[in-house]
Structure 1
Amino acid sequence: MRIRFELYPDNVYPYLIPPLRHCLTLHTACAPGGDPVNASRYSGDWTEVSDYFCFLALPVVVSFAVATQVASVVVLCKMPARASLDTYLLGLCAASLLLLAATSLLASQHYVGRYEAIIATQPYAFSCRDWFWYTTIWLIVMMAFERALSVSSSRASVLCTPTQAGVVVLMVFCVGLVSALPRFWEYDTARHFDLRLNATAPAATKTASTATEEYNTMYFWYVKTLTLFLPYVMMAVTGVTLVLRSRGEAQARRYTAVKHASATALARRMKDETALSKLLVLLMAMYVTFSTPLCLLELMSRVLPDWLDQDTRLFAALHNLFTVLFFLHYALHLILYFCYNKQFRLTLLDVCCCCC
């Protein structure tokens, strides 16, 4: 007997995390291509297995990411001497936790059922998801930019205090909120006829003012500029600067005029500074690696619809797979912090010893 692995029974909305579409809810009115009867037809067996894998993997990945981010927040709050970079990392952990919470609320309809309370929160969860996504991107960019300026300075000193870094973190949160403001008016909850239930049921759908092609096109390119084109260019520039300025010769020139107790202390300081630069380079590289497939998928479906139609089952399967990949990198932040931040590593070991 042939076994069918389905994302959920009577699959009419094949997205684990709703993309930018006319509807966010598990509802026949949200069926891709406007054909709710054939919405659950698959283009091949691999899409069934892929969706089943994503359906099981997403809660595991998100739960592990939440656990590691909470652990990072605890360690960063307990650090005795917090530097500006640690303040940036604390803001990044907070934004990541809020992003994961909003994502969990959006995906919960597939795991706990379609409750009206969950559907009523979907427009706000979708808006907050974008808000905190923008914030995490630009926090990574800002901390890398600040670090690049520090290592490019002729003096071996930091350019930003922890208090100033906290102000920058708050500003990035505010800029992310302003960038995501249109999302708060983009969707609204209304009752639509559901063919499966043969009755009306609530669904979060686009409002009439945002359902136009002009608005969708303009906001699509705005989001891509904010999340793909501009941050990737800045990450490339700051990444190259950090790599070049963190080499042994460049570090030696910066610390030539600084008096240290001994050559050992100087070598230890240079080693710690190099490790922090590597942390930011790897943090940017990891974000680019794990987020580019999802960003390019949406970009190609928009620019080349003949090659990759947004209403096909292939696009939905790839979107689910790349979504799980995207959230996986949030679960790996703790590993980078532990490997390349000496003070974080010592504090984490101290916390673990106290718990034992």
Structure 2
Amino acid sequence: MIKTPLCEMLGIKYPIIQAPMGPFYTTKLASAVTNAGALGIISHTNLFGVDPVKDMEKNILEVKENCDGPFGVNVRVARIQVDAPALLEKIVELRAKDPELKERLKLVITSAGNPEPPAKFLKDKDPDLLHFHVAPTLYHAMKVDKLCDGIIATGYEGGGHQSYEGVTTLVLIPEVVNNCSKPVVACGGFSDGKGLAAALAMGAIGVQMGTRFIATQECEFHPDYKDFVLRSADRDTVVTTGAFGPIRLLKNKYAAEHPHIMTKEEMKAREASLTPEEIAEDMKKYELVYKGDIENGPVLCGQSCGNINNLPTVKEVIEGIVREAESIIKGLSKYVV
């Protein structure tokens, strides 16, 4: 059995967090992950013409009903994510009025922006709620280290929202562990027990995975999305510019039509000129993907897709990863003489 400080912090059996994958729904997936002994995460969804705050409340209550253990939520805090403060307020409100949620909704993961405003808010309004933030470089991780309870260090191999700097996981994790005092969860390219064993060897207390969980029976992503992941190799992803900055996605018609990666300065200038209508139009492309159009929208996916070729249950994924990691870690002693 593998037990790390992450298990103690979150009250979970296995040191694995399911990555948030907004703007898509991961409500059913989160329930399955939690029921399998890891930590399921509700994604920040605001695509389909619904009130994002009411949607988050519905998703939280649904996961609470459908699983027995702890779970978490993601809130994107990008500059253009205007609903973030209201979502954080709703999460705190729900925990305050529901003792069971206060016990089981353990973690908020913020991402894609500045962690300072949400960190100050959560420490003031709900100091018992754990707060991790996603950091793609050591520079960002050192800022998170001063504000949050944990750091999710995500390398360039990961799918979805990416950094401008392009630091890979193998470089990033030891750097962050060596220079930060808060617990580190490794993310970006993890899909099996070899990855979990490697993350622990680098000093992380667990891993966060997204792409591996897409290709599971319980994930509510469209079957064509899952099939695209299963058919893809490590070379079949590309990084381009998305709504919040660089994104890693599978090569398709949409990716071919969006080849340019904006600099951080270009992105800030673009954000300043964006209208709500333009943002909504961009979000419609994600809705197409969620409904099964895997050519005309961004099919977010990490490079670990090359290591994924089956569609098991969530329980089979998690238990298989832990079992393989245990075997590898025990076997490494033969190299010490």
Bigger Cα Rg: 1
Q: TM-score, normalised by structure 1?
A: 0.25
